[in-house]
Structure 1
Amino acid sequence: MPKQGYHHGNLREALIDAALMLIEKQGPQGFTLSDAAKSAGVTPAAVYRHFAGRDDIIAEIARRGFEIFADLMDHAYKRGQPSALAAFEATGRAYLAFARKFPGYYMAMFESGISLNANPDLARASERARLVFTRAAEALSQHIPVEKRPPASMFSAHIWAMSHGVVELFTRGAPGARAPFPPEELLETGIGIYLRGLGLVPPDE
Structure 2
Amino acid sequence: MVKGSGGKTGYHHGDLRNALIGAAVELAVEGGPERVVLREAARRVGVSPTAAYRHFSGHGDLLWQVKARGQQALAAFMLEAVREVPPLPDPGEEAERRLAAIGRGYVRFAVENPGLYRTAFRRIPADAPGADGVRAAFTGSAPPGDEPRYSAFRVLTDTLDAAVTAGRMAPAARPGAEIAAWAAVHGLAQLLLDGPLAGLPAGQWEALTDRTVRMVVAGLFG
How high is the TM-score relative to the length of structure 2?
A: 0.70
1:110-160 alpha-carbon deviations (Å, 9 max, x no partner):
124366x841899533433211111122223432576x53125x1221111
Matches within 5 A, 1:122-161: 123=134, 124=145, 125=147, 126-141=149-164, 142-143=166-167, 149-152=172-175, 154-161=176-183
Q: Is the 8 A contact 1:63 1:122 kept in 2?
A: no
% identity of equivalent residues: 30
Structure 1's consecutive aligned runs of 4 or more residues displaced over 6 angstroms after TM superposition are: none
Q: Which residue is 1:186 aligned to?
A: 208
2:49 is the counterpart of 1:44: yes
1:158-201 alpha-carbon deviations (Å, 9 max, x no partner):
11111111212114699521479722321221232243245x14
* Higher helix proportion (structure 1 or 2): 1
Matches within 5 A, 1:157-168: 157-168=179-190
Query: Cα–Cα, structure 1 residues 23 and 144, in superposed 2: closer, same or farther, change >3 Å?
Result: closer
Q: CA deviation at 1:30?
A: 4.0
CA distance in 1, matches of 2:212, 2:31: 32
2:109 is the counterpart of 1:86: no
Q: How many residues align?
A: 196
CA distance in 2, matches of 1:23, 1:66: 12
2:126 is the counterpart of 1:99: no
How high is the TM-score relative to the length of structure 1?
A: 0.75
Query: Cα–Cα, structure 1 residues 74 and 25, in superposed 2: closer, same or farther, change >3 Å?
Result: closer
Q: Is the 8 A contact 1:12 1:50 kept in 2?
A: yes
2:84 is the counterpart of 1:60: no
Structure 1: gaps spanning 5 or more residues: none
Q: Is the 8 A contact 1:18 1:36 kept in 2?
A: yes
Q: Which stretch shifts more, 84-93 or 47-56?
A: 47-56
CA distance in 2, matches of 1:158, 1:41: 45
Structure 2: gaps spanning 5 or more residues: 1-8, 89-93, 135-144
CA distance in 2, matches of 1:33, 1:88: 38
CA distance in 2, matches of 1:52, 1:87: 40
